A and B are shown apart, each in its own frame.
Chain A
Amino acid sequence: MENILFGIGITAVAGALATIAGAAEDTESDIGSQGDPNSQVQLAPQMGFIHRIYNKAISGEPPAYGLWCAIGAGVAWAFMAVQVNAILAIILGSLVATLVQGAYATTAYLGRTASLANFEQPVYIDLIRSVTTVTMAHAFVAIFTTVAMCYLMNTALGHPFPLPLLALVWGIALGAAGSATGNPFYGKERQYQEQPFGAGVSISASGTIVRYGEAGQRSSLDNGWFTSKMGGPASGICFGLIVFFELWRTVIFEHMAGGWGAVIVGVVLIFIFMALDRYIEVWARKTFGPYAKPEEAEATA
């Protein structure tokens, strides 16, 4: 019984860390324009829309976060192997991973922007100074919380995977959660605020991203303010729930039905969430009305 109580406590802490990680990850990727909305940032100058938005094309978020978290955990593991205190080791590992992330971010912006010289897109080096440090700060929070969560799973819950492998797997999951949950807020809503809500983005509007703000020109830092209200918390809840339910079902049901208990509960959870998702989708369609038909939209345009 005490083991289970201890396990539930660790599960709650890990879920909380994961929630912070998810929120920080999505804010980081939106400030830097990583992931799928990046294609519009890349396309805009080719359509004649020169902008001051960061272009952090490193790879998809899941492999990138797999790498950052793996570096953080790998360096932390090595420092712990030479008898450095665990918390200090995780901080130092996350710091190294953050510096690598920052170096990758600057080379991605410079490389992509320099290759767009034909379309008269200049390199704004003040963006490198102001935006890179902000993405690095958010990346540090995301990497530190993920590696700390993996350390808890490894030492407190006795997960059989070594720390670097565990962080690689959870880093990929973190990037996937942020990419799938948070990016739609940024890509479909923030970049296209002049388009009617719910209309979708037509192909003719590709690349016409919002470049000017209410007062002055928009930089990627404004995305941080928007994302920390919308996409960030949504991604945080998503990743936090994934981690919480993953550990909860293992801690409580691992010894039932000859080891199959956790698997059965996992399948049941998936069905419950499918039903919930369907309910929310139908509710949203009914509440916010059906999408306008294309003919009607053309008639009113």
Chain B
Amino acid sequence: MTVKMEASAGGIPHDTVMAYGLIGSLVGIYLTYLNVLSGTEIFSFFGGLAAIAALVWGANTIKHLCSYGLGTGVPSAGMIALGSGAIAMIFASRYGMLAPIVAVIVAGILGAIVGFVSNKIVNMNIPVMERSLTELSIVGAMSLMGFTAMLGGTFIFDEMVAGTSTFLGFVFADYGMSIIGGSTLAVTFMLAAIALQHPFNACLGPGEQQDRTLMLGAECGFLSMIPIALMSFAFISFASAVIALLVSVAGWCWTYVQFIELSKRDAYAWLDAKPIHEPKGGE
């Protein structure tokens, strides 16, 4: 078994982060259903906020999993989360209104299987492996579903494969212009995967602090929302996409400034155009 090296002690307990992340992402995804109830697409941006709740939770999970000496494994954890989560998310999207809950259950089962294989068959022997990969798989499914709901205003499969194109004023059904047919789902996949692994990968080291890492998680989430808001111009109404873009940019600016403040707090020194500082006892 590898030795556990906890990067930072204290902070919010992981179970609390998990509870907020799970409930926040489910509530956020269901809030996009207001689109159907109100007959508009104005509530799409709640999908992005749901994804951020999941990503912050996932960043904390990766921190726990990768504190067992998995330095170069941090980006891989993001990929495997989205890989198993994407299967669950697409499968669950067939279940209409129940899709988010089905996604959580299916992703949990898939993650547990992946965790069992990694720990018992590949023999990685990390105590928190099964639980972490189960959580990460749910995080992957929730973040992908949230971003997809933000992109097209829906998390229902039939609407994700339906697109239209216009030729000489006539509107035609065109699978190639849909969320899945146009492969914009691939973009959301990568946006969520890199945003999930980046917070701990960027903050790892002996001086890692939970609040800084999780703030970076939120920053990455809002940053991912910006390209999704821009892509959503192809799928939802102009006003809805503009609102999504404004929410994304405002959220990103706030979290980015907060992250810089926290980095300034934790840094050894904050120097501008100064020579290399040679420590005492160094060269």
Contact = CB atoms under 8 A, between A and B. Distances in A.
Interface of A: 42, 48-52, 57-60, 63-64, 66-67, 70-71, 73-75, 77-79, 81-82, 96-97, 100, 103-104, 107-108, 110-126, 161-165, 168, 211-212, 217
B227 A75 contact: yes
A119 B279 contact: yes
Nearest to A216: B275
B206 A116 contact: yes
Contacts, number: 199
A117 B227 contact: no
29 contacts: A51-B276, A58-B198, A58-B202, A63-B194, A74-B186, A75-B227, A78-B232, A78-B233, A79-B230, A79-B233, A81-B177, A96-B230, A108-B202, A111-B202, A112-B202, A114-B263, A115-B205, A117-B268, A118-B206, A122-B268, A122-B274, A123-B263, A123-B268, A123-B271, A125-B272, A126-B272, A162-B183, A163-B182, A217-B276
Interface of B: 7, 74-75, 78-79, 165, 176-177, 181-184, 186-187, 190-191, 193-194, 197-199, 201-208, 212-213, 216, 219-220, 223, 226-227, 230-235, 252, 256, 259-260, 262-264, 266-279, 281-283
B279 A50 contact: yes
Residue among B193, B220, B279 with most chain A CB within 10 A: B279
A113 B205 CA distance: 9
A50 to B, nearest CB: 5
Contacts of A110: 202, 259-260, 263, 267
Nearest to B265: A114
A261 B156 CA distance: 42
A48 B283 contact: yes
Contacts of A165: 183, 186
Contacts of B181: 162
A245 to B, nearest CB: 25
B234 A81 contact: yes
Contacts of B263: 110-111, 113-114, 123
Contact of B202 (A50, A57, A125): A57
A70 B281 CA distance: 47
Contacts of A58: 194, 198, 201-202
Given A119-B279, A122-B269, A112 B204 contact: yes
B201 A115 contact: no
A40 to B, nearest CB: 13
B259 A107 contact: yes
Contacts of A79: 230, 233-234
A132 to B, nearest CB: 13
Given A59-B201, A118-B207, 16 more contacts: A59-B197, A70-B186, A70-B187, A77-B182, A77-B231, A81-B182, A107-B259, A119-B268, A122-B269, A122-B274, A123-B267, A125-B270, A126-B272, A162-B182, A164-B186, A165-B183
